[in-house]
């Protein structure tokens, strides 16, 4: 069953597709032009109804799903975010169809933008793919308007399709974190060991500090002359801890023992100190800074 949440834009309502939408979807695809770039002919009512049945019954990860796209209370299209069955790695793939009579009004672009915002802002996906028939100029225009990049071609459903990918924008994302530390060499040793083990690389260096970078985010440690105290206390108001993705559980296990000034916290409850569904290690360094190292595969 779909777990897609309801989404809203200035003109559209995207709600989870339901079995009761069968008649509306049949009407949506009654125009044969709507199926022009599909392997199936959804102008056949039986195939249109089967599409609804299959999508409503589909088992999808939390937050993924199939939507009915409504404008002024009427169903004008359908859209989806699902694991791709045609691209390697079961990557997230978006799909969309809007009634021909509503073409040219930006509704498809608006719906795709809403789903991308959900995919990045709520699900935290690193990328969303689209597979578009190479002759479907209207759909190619939609993905171009919404920031997708053309990365190649793939034969699928008996035809050549363009493979496109959209990546999250930098807007609103973390730029950097700056930690003021009591002793730079000690901080460099501990943070360098930890961040280096997670794939971060040294980024900047100056007399009072050093930073490490991963992607477009970086972390700074600095022994600032403007600091008003000698110690960090994580239980006081301010920074309590940093939480970092590690990859698989084996990566967490590798780092959980500590090293270079880091010692385990909550070792008696490892690796479920954060809860039964949360596989993580907690470490504290000599200056009292805490990190949480979170596995991406938590099962």
pLDDT digits (tens, 9 = 90+) for 102-137: 999 999 999 999 999 999 989 989 999 999 999 999
pLDDT digits (tens, 9 = 90+) for 64-87: 999 999 999 999 999 999 999 999
Task: With respect to residue 171, please indicate whether it lies within any of the assigned structural domains.
Answer: no
Task: With respect to residue 93, please indicate whether it lies within any of the assigned structural domains.
Answer: yes
Same domain (yes/no): 269, 233? yes
Distances (CA, A) of 103 to 51, 72, 99, 214: 22, 16, 7, 42
Single out the residue in 131, 147, 166 at which a domain terminates: 166
Answer yes or no: pTM beyond 0.75. Answer: no
Same domain (yes/no): 113, 211? no
Domain CATH for 259: 3.10.180.10
Q: What is the pLDDT of residue 277?
A: 86
Residue 171: is its pLDDT beyond 80? no
Domain CATH for 57: 3.40.630.30
Q: What is the pLDDT of residue 299?
A: 52
Same domain (yes/no): 282, 206? yes
Beta-carbon contacts of 279 under 8 Å, excluding residues fewer than 6 positions away, are 249, 252, 271, 272, 294, 295, 297, 298
Tally of domains in the chain: 2
Task: With respect to residue 242, please indicate whether it lies within any of the assigned structural domains.
Answer: yes
- How large is the average pLDDT for residues 264-291? 95
- How large is the average pLDDT for residues 200-228? 96
Q: Are 162 and 131 in contact (CB under 8 A)?
A: yes
Same domain (yes/no): 141, 213? no
Query: The domain containing residue 129 runs over which residues?
Result: 7-166
**φ and ψ at 63, to 5 degrees?**
90, -20
């Amino acid at each position: 069953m779909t777990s897609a949440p309801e989404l809203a834009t200035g003109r559209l309502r995207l709600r989870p597709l339901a079995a009761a939408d069968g008649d509306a979807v049949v009407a949506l695809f009654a125009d044969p032009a709507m199926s022009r770039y599909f392997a199936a002919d959804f102008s056949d009512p039986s195939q249109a109804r089967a599409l609804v049945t299959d999508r409503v019954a589909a088992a999808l990860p939390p937050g993924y799903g199939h939507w009915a796209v409504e404008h002024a209370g009427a169903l004008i299209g359908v859209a989806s975010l699902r694991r791709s069955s045609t691209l390697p790695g079961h990557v997230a793939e978006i799909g969309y169809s809007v009634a021909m009579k509503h073409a040219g009004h930006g509704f498809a672009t608006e719906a795709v933008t809403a789903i991308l915002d959900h995919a990045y802002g709520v699900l935290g996906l690193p990328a969303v793919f689209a597979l578009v028939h190479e002759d479907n100029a209207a759909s190619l225009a939609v993905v171009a308007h919404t920031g997708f990049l053309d990365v190649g071609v793939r034969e699928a459903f008996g035809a050549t399709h363009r493979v496109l990918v959209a990546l999250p924008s930098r807007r609103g994302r973390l730029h950097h974190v700056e930690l003021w530390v009591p002793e730079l060499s000690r901080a460099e040793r501990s943070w360098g060991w930890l961040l280096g083990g997670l794939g971060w690389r040294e980024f900047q260096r100056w007399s009072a500090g050093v930073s490490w970078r991963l992607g477009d985010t970086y972390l700074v440690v600095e022994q600032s002359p403007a600091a008003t105290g000698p110690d960090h206390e994580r239980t006081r108001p301010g920074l309590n801890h940093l939480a970092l993705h590690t990859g698989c559980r084996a990566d967490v296990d590798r780092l959980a023992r500590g090293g270079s000034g880091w010692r385990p916290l909550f070792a008696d409850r490892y690796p479920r100190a954060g809860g039964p569904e949360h596989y993580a290690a907690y470490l504290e360094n000599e200056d009292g800074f805490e990190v949480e190292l979170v596995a991406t595969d938590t099962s």
